[in-house]
Each structure stands twice: as structure tokens, then as C-alpha cells.
Structure 1
Amino acid sequence: MSDELHDVLCSVITVSDRASRGERKDTSGKAIADALKSVGADVEHTVVSDGVDSVLGALRASTATGARVVITTGGTGIAPRDFTPEATASIIARPIPGIPEMLRRVSGESVPTAALSRGIAGVTGGPINAIIINLPGSLDSAKAGIETILPLLPHMLSQLDGGDH
């Protein structure tokens, strides 16, 4: 693959109580980070516990360091502590509903439970706009998700920076 995101700062945030406590290996976050690195991105990767406050804190920290792309993995389902979409909604200024619709459609072809994902996507406001996309926490869904959105990211960043459509 080419270096389509060469020198773009990207942040991967794994949302998992078990991974944050060291009880489970973070495979989905690593897969997403590896995919972003494969196209030249500079990648920061953090693991946080489930819940609005922890996710919101990680999102704010990522955008404060200048990340232009923030991908979360985990916390998008209907479990009692799955609040990644709610945290994301509080930081985005403009939603991009087509991204999660596409992700659910693509994943739903092989995994019917993809319909349970509540992940969202959008653009932050402020002096440096960032794209935030929620992916599911399962390894297979995270891999399918990053493969689906990776080709779109350079065009999305170009548009954010005032490029032509």
C-alpha cells in the first residue's frame, strides 16, 4: 500500500475494561494501529476502560495532541458499560452517518450481530478538525472496519482541509 497518510497523526483508542486491567490482550487496537502504520500514519495507541468519562478523556487527549484521525475500538454494543458512541457524540460537531451505515452493512453480510453496533462517526470542531470513527471491539469486525474506511481517510482529510470534492 502507498503512504497515503504519510505523517498524519492518528490515534487508536481501545475501549475495554478487561484490556485496561491487563486481563485480555488488545488485538483489535493493534490491528487498527498496524493498518494505519501500513499507509504511513504516525500512530498513538491507548487503552481505556469502558464508560463515558474514560472514553471522552481519551478522545479529548487525542485531539489535543493534534490527531487528525481518531479510531476507537470497543464499547459500541449494548452491554451495560458500552458508552463509546455517547462519549463520541459529545465531542463531534458534525456527524458523518454514512460511515457507520456502511460499516454495519459490510460487516452484516457475514456477521448478523453487526446490526447491534451503535458506533458513530463525525468531525470535531475547533481550530484543528479531526475525524472520529467508532469501530466494534471484536478483532474480525475491527479488521473489516479499518479495511473499509482506510481508502476513504485521505479524501476525508483533504475535504477537512478545504480540498476539492
Structure 2
Amino acid sequence: MDAPVRIGILVSSDRAAAGLYEDRGGPAVEAYLGRVLVTPWTAELRVIPDDRALLAATLVELAALCPLVLTTGGTGPAPRDVTPEATADVCQRILPGFGEAMRLASLREVPTAILSRQVAGTRGSTLIVNLPGKPTSIATCLDAVFPAIPYCIDLIGGPRLETDPAVCRAFRPPG
């Protein structure tokens, strides 16, 4: 029997890392994956401060372990929001369509979605996707892009992820 696929969940939050705030982003990502994936998986969760160098180093660490890394937090315009920059620092290829799709979906719900700076990219055979920190926004963004995630991971040489088609119909070309 194959081991569960490890999926990285990286929370970027000064307050959560210091224990001053109960993080809700990481649990929201885990709950979403629990609903959508039928492939056995396990979370590699990290909660760290908003620090570009630390974020980049943690992304590199998780990319060595996981075919998919989902970040939450640090995507706004505030000075401490540096997750997109750290992601760009470690990715070999940026995939702009992910950010565009997430912002478009979020814009249907809130006009401030244009302030969000989520990016996505690949590092080797790992896909890294930035998500906002708010749980309802996480679900909105993942609903917008998750149908493409399993096939993207196929294309970059990662393991096959299967979704529950009643929850999320992942796209794969016929044949």
C-alpha cells in the first residue's frame, strides 16, 4: 500500500506564530482538502511569522517533501505581507492564471479582492499556491483553481491526486 501523499500547508502569520491568535487558515485548508480529495493524504503544517527569508526557506523545505504546498496569509498589500515575494523567490516557473482565477472568483464576493496578491508556481515537481488567510476566502479561491491542480501536478511529475467528483471535478484530458 502506498504511503499517503504529503501536502504542505504553510501559514504566514506573526500573531499565530507567536501564539497570540488562533490560526483559522490552516484548519480551513485541511478541511477543504478533506472534502475534495479521495487520494489518501497527510498534512505537513507549518505556522511561521511573516518573514520573507523564513517563508522562502520553509517553502524550499516543504517542496522537498510535498507535491503540493498551499500557503495561507501574507498576500495583502500591508508591509509585512510578503508571501508572494517569498514564493517568487523559490519558484522556477510562475503560473499567473492561478492568481487571476482566484482574484476573479473573490471579486464576485468582495470588492477588495483586487488587493489580493496570490501567486502560484512550480519548484521541481511541486506546485505552490498562495491563498488568503480568511477561511471563506480560502474556499472561494480553492474552488476556482482546484479543478486544475491534479493535472498540473501530473504535468510536473508529481503523484496522481484524485478528487471526489461530487465535490470537485478535476480536469484531465481524455485518454
Q: Please give the range of the TM-score, normalised by the shorter of the 2 chains.
A: 0.7 to 0.9
2:98 is matched with 99
Cα distance per residue 1:123-150 (max 9 Å; x no partner): 113xxx1000101111221121223222
Alignment of 1:16-35 (within 5 A): 16-35=13-32
Q: Does 1:87 align with 2:86?
A: yes
Q: Does 1:148 align with 2:147?
A: no
1:50 is matched with 50
Note if contact 2:101-2:145 (Cα within 8 Å) is conserved in structure 1: no
Q: For residues 148 and 7 of structure 1, do their structure 2 counterparts lie closer, same or farther at Cα, with a shift above 3 Å needed?
A: farther
Tell me the distance in 2 between the aligned counterparts of 1:102 and 1:149.
7
Tell me the distance in 1 between the aligned counterparts of 2:45 and 2:34.
11
Note if contact 1:15-1:47 (Cα within 8 Å) is conserved in structure 2: yes
Query: 1:35 offset after TM fit, Å?
Result: 1.8
Q: For residues 155 and 120 of structure 1, do their structure 2 counterparts lie closer, same or farther at Cα, with a shift above 3 Å needed?
A: same
Can you give the 5+ residue segments of structure 1 that lack an aligned partner in the other structure?
1-5
Query: 1:33 offset after TM fit, Å?
Result: 1.5
Q: Which amino acid aligns with 2:76?
A: G
User: TM-score, normalized by length of structure 2?
Assistant: 0.82
Tell me the distance in 1 between the aligned counterparts of 2:145 and 2:155.
15
Q: Could you say what the CA RMSD is over the residues aligned between the two structures, in angstroms?
A: 1.9
Can you give the 5+ residue segments of structure 2 that lack an aligned partner in the other structure?
161-171
Tell me the distance in 2 between the aligned counterparts of 1:15 and 1:32.
13
1:8 is matched with 5
Count residues in correspondence: 156
SS in 1 for 2:92: strand
Extract structure 1 runs of 4+ deviating beyond 3 A: 162-165
- Give me the identity figure in percent: 37
SS in 2 for 1:90: helix
Query: 1:26 offset after TM fit, Å?
Result: 1.0
2:59 is matched with 59
Tell me the distance in 1 between the aligned counterparts of 2:11 and 2:59.
11
Note if contact 1:69-1:132 (Cα within 8 Å) is conserved in structure 2: yes
